[in-house]
């Protein structure tokens, strides 16, 4: 049976505070209104996760302004959280927004893969949902993907669909990802993420017309090189038949299956057993994977490769 993968994961949030205000965000709180995750608390959480068949620790963070005096402490905390996760037997994947080249190089020491969504290149978004989001400048996102390639970091990126971008932008954004991958070969997966309205945001858009997702997956499959996997989040696809149609269209990964989707807290995952039987009914075999894909493990330092071997 053909294989569909997922990553058994748990999300740790260093901080929800974010200086950006993407209007579709259900995650952020204002700077200074949130206590950062302590190493003590993370140690407790990770200890509770032992023997629960979880491998990936997804570190998803709100962002401290690049010129803030608190930026270094924020980065140091993320580094320590990743290092702790490694030492406790987990494999970290960090998405903390755009980083300086030096910051990215530093976090790469303690992550088996990293990620940053391109979102969309359409400049119209800068007057729309990204009006108050310096981090979402298309040039900044593209530069991040380029640096990740230069640093040989196994990388996840993707598109956020249905935030006001022109449909013509899907092809442009996918082509930009393909071009950067042709230069470096580091992109292991592209997430096609349907914008899904939540209860905390200000945008309150209609959400992406989910019926269009199979067509976007086909487009991605035409444009992206074959060594990039297309990932879709099953909790944001409300209808089981549609999920199966997405697999037929070329999606081959379901991303991190987590107890709580921190980005979309209003959308719960099916039980693994339910996902398993749904996929099996259509002839697909659901299998766990690591946050670094097998063909990218050789990118990693000896220390990280040793942790991967133990997982
Ligand atoms: O549970 C989630 N996981 C998200 N993940 C996790 C992702 O599915 C896995 O961490 C990767 O597939 C690595 O295994 C992201 C990772 C990225 O690098 C970039 C964006 C996302 C977005 C989400 C998300 O909205 N919800
Ligand atoms: C971590 C990633 O989560 C995505 N993201 C942020 N808010 C939402 C939402 N309401 N629905 C779906 N995805 C979202 C963005 O693409 C971000 O880069
Ligand atoms: S989506 Fe990310 S960058 Fe935008 S406000 Fe939310 S946490 Fe901040």
Tokens of 151: 């640093």
Cα–Cα distances (Å) from 270 to 3, 5, 76, 233, in that order, read 19, 15, 35, 11
Measured distance CA(139)–CA(159) in Å, rounded:
15
Count Cα neighbours of 61 within 13 Å in the Cβ-side half-sphere: 29
Please tell me the distance between residue 161's alpha carbon and the centre of ligand 2 in angstroms.
9
Whether ipTM tops 0.95, in short, is: yes
Which of 41-55, 203-217, 244-258, 290-304 is predicted least confidently? Answer: 203-217
Tell which one of 63, 78, 144, 198 to mutate to probe ligand 3, the residue whose CB is within 8 A of the most ligand atoms.
63
- pLDDT of the residue at 1: 81
DSSP lists the bridge partners of residue 159 as 119, 192
Please indicate whether residue 157, judged by its CB atom, sits closer than 6 Å to ligand 2: no
- pLDDT of the residue at 205: 79
Please indicate whether residue 196, judged by its CB atom, sits closer than 6 Å to ligand 2: yes
Mean pLDDT of 90-98: 98
Residue carrying the six token digits 């935030």: 163
Asked if the model's pLDDT at residue 207 lies above 90, the reply is no
Asked if the model's pLDDT at residue 203 lies above 90, the reply is no
Confidence at 206, pLDDT banded by 50, 70, 90 = confident
Name the residue ranges covered by the structural domains of the chain. Answer: 3-310
Please tell me the distance between residue 269's alpha carbon and the centre of ligand 1 in angstroms.
13
Is 25 flagged in the annotation as binding? yes
Over residues 224-279, the pLDDT tens digits come to 999 999 999 999 999 999 999 999 999 999 999 999 999 999 999 999 999 999 99
CATH superfamily of 3-310: Aldolase class I (3.20.20.70)
Confidence at 167, pLDDT banded by 50, 70, 90 = very high
- pLDDT of the residue at 151: 98
Mean pLDDT of 101-130: 98
Asked if the model's pLDDT at residue 12 lies above 90, the reply is yes
Please indicate whether residue 65, judged by its CB atom, sits closer than 6 Å to ligand 3: no
- pLDDT of the residue at 36: 98
38-41: long-range contacts (C-beta < 8 A, 24 or more apart)?
Answer: 39/80, 39/81, 39/84
- pLDDT of the residue at 201: 87
Is 22 flagged in the annotation as binding? yes
Please tell me the distance between residue 158's alpha carbon and the centre of ligand 1 in angstroms.
10
Q: Chain-wide mean pLDDT for the chain? A: 97
Is 55 flagged in the annotation as binding? no
Residues 8 and 54: beta-carbon distance below 8 Å: yes
Tokens of 104: 């990215």
Please indicate whether residue 74, judged by its CB atom, sits closer than 6 Å to ligand 2: no
- pLDDT of the residue at 186: 98
Please indicate whether residue 25, judged by its CB atom, sits closer than 6 Å to ligand 3: yes
Confidence at 135, pLDDT banded by 50, 70, 90 = very high
- pLDDT of the residue at 154: 98
- pLDDT of the residue at 116: 99
Whose CA is closest to atom 1 on ligand 1?
261
Over residues 60-90, the pLDDT tens digits come to 999 999 999 999 999 999 999 999 999 999 9
Cα–Cα distances (Å) from 304 to 90, 145, 195, 296, in that order, read 11, 21, 33, 12
Please indicate whether residue 264, judged by its CB atom, sits closer than 6 Å to ligand 2: yes
Tokens of 100: 């300086």
Whose CA is closest to atom 13 on ligand 1?
291
């Amino acid at each position: 049976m053909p294989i569909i993968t997922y990553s058994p994961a748990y999300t740790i949030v260093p901080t929800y505070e974010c200086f950006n205000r993407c209007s579709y965000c259900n995650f952020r709180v204002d700077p200074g209104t949130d206590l950062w995750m302590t190493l003590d608390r993370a140690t407790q959480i990770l200890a509770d996760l032992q023997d629960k068949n979880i491998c990936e620790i997804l570190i998803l963070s709100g962002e401290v302004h690049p010129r803030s005096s608190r930026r270094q402490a924020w980065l140091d905390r993320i580094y320590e959280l990743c290092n702790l996760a490694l030492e406790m037997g987990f494999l970290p994947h960090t998405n903390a927004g755009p980083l300086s080249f030096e910051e990215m190089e530093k976090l790469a020491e303690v992550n088996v893969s990293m990620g940053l969504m391109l979102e969309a290149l359409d400049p119209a978004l800068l007057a729309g949902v990204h009006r108050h989001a310096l981090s979402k400048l298309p040039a900044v996102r593209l530069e991040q993907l380029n640096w990740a390639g230069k640093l040989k970091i196994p990388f996840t990126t993707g598109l956020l669909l249905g935030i006001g971008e022109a449909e013509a932008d899907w092809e442009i954004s996918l082509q930009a990802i393909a071009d950067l991958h042709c230069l470096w070969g580091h992109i292991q997966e592209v997430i096609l993420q349907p914008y899904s309205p939540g209860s905390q945001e200000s945008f309150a858009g209609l959400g992406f017309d989910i019926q269009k997702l199979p067509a976007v997956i086909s487009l991605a499959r035409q444009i992206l090189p074959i060594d990039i996997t297309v990932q879709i989040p099953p909790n944001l696809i409300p209808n089981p038949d549609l999920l199966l149609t997405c697999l037929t269209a070329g999606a081959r990964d379901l991303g991190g299956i987590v107890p709580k989707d921190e980005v979309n807290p209003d959308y719960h995952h099916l039980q693994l057993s339910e996902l398993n039987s749904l996929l099996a009914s259509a002839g697909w075999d659901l299998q766990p994977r690591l946050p670094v894909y097998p063909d990218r493990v050789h990118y990693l330092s000896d220390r990280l490769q040793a942790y991967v071997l133990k997982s």
